[in-house]
Amino acid sequence: MKIIVTGGAGFIGGNFVHYMLNKYKAYDIICLDALTYAGNMETLAPVQNNPKFKFYKADITDRLAVYEIFEKEKPDIIVNFAAESHVDRSIDNPGIFLQTNIIGTGVLMDACRKYGITRYHQVSTDEVYGDLPLDRPDLFFTETTPLHTSSPYSASKASADLLVQAYHRTYKLPVTISRCSNNYGPYHFPEKLIPLMIINALADKELPVYGKGENVRDWLYVEDHCSAIDLIIHEGKVGEVYNIGGHNEKTNLEVVKIILKELGKSEDLIKYVTDRPGHDMRYAIDPTKIHHELGWLPATKFEDGIKKTIKWYLDNKEWWQHIINGEYKDYYAKHYSKK
């Protein structure tokens, strides 16, 4: 089995690469990543000498490069993590999100049609559903919830989902889609909420919290997400959408306070800042479908996962310090320039 993982130098994609190489010793895992700001080759350092792993620096919007890789590797499965994914950045510069998340997805599926695959899997997000009101804790996103986006990021991901479904219907491309809640865990880029709060707290810096910190997210430990995608690409029904949720709803303020408590830091470090435009209030996923059809359930409670995450950041300071000072961008040139 040969699997191309796009965006495999990013947070979730990188964790998926580690997960698959560890679980399937006979599989060939090919990582394709453009190494934009959030792509970090240091995330893949533990596997770069694994004979079953191969890396290509390429942009999924580059049709020629993508086709050349498909021609050479002849993959069986494509798992597309490659995406611009930070909401704040999408508000500042929507264009790159449309290019990567929509056009790039189309290029990948055209390559799948041309060279043939057994499964194309699109990694999406619960943000395509919009948000839920805080005063209706009985409401959850299901796979039939209408798409109702709030940011250029979520609109680009919803557009990609619709394109994937269109390729399935029009060209019979064997596809699946998963929509996950907020991930956390090792190798999370420092601008995201949980790693940012951990790193700032360690340095006794202010912890910026949007608005009053009332926004609710369903937190999913990244390894649980990887196990769900593993199940979907092997056993999921072609053409289907699967929601992947963590059953761990927390307000942003609760998350920040838990981190401060774990690190023994004062809540005086919290600083409330002007809220993000169009900030979704609550995300909450109902993962009943993937549980009933594939037997998946999240294995990690937030209280346990956040402890493991904090420990990882404490044990791997060099990784995130290299990001903060920009050294991570030099890793590819240093280790791959002669390959």
DSSP codes of every residue in 21-43: HHH-TT-EEEEEE---TT--GGG
Cβ-based neighbour number of residue 7 at 10 Å? 29
Asked whether 225 and 219 are in contact (CB, 8 A), the reply is no
Q: Which residues of 276-314 are buried (b: 16+ CB within 10 A; e: fewer)?
A: eeeebebbbbbbebbbeebebebebebeebbeebbebbe
Q: Of 127, 131, 224, 249, which residue is the catalytic one?
A: 127
CA-to-CA dists, residue 97 to 38, 156, 294, angstroms: 14, 6, 32
Under 8 Å between Cβ of 241 and 177: yes
The reply to whether 153 belongs to the active site is yes
Strand 53-57 to strand 28-33: parallel, antiparallel, or no bridges (unpaired)? Answer: parallel
Beta bridge partner(s), residue 250: 217
What is the spatial order of strands in the sheet that 249-251 belongs to? 182-184, 216-221, 249-251
Contact assessment for residue 234 and residue 294, using Cβ atoms and an 8 Å cutoff: no
Active-site option among 153, 167, 184, 331: 153
* Residue the block writes with tokens 């294995």: 299
Q: Alpha-carbon distance 68 to 104, whole Å?
A: 15
Give me the phi and psi of 25, to 5 degrees please.
-65, -20
- The tokens for 320 are 């995130």
Integer Cα distance of 117 and 111 in angstroms: 9
Task: Please identify which of the residues 28, 59, 126, 218 carries the catalytic annotation.
Answer: 126
Catalytic status, residue 304: no
Reply yes or no on whether 126 is catalytic: yes
| Alpha carbon distance 318, 314 (integer Å) | 9
265: tokens are: 């830091």
Which residues are the active-site residues? 126-127, 153
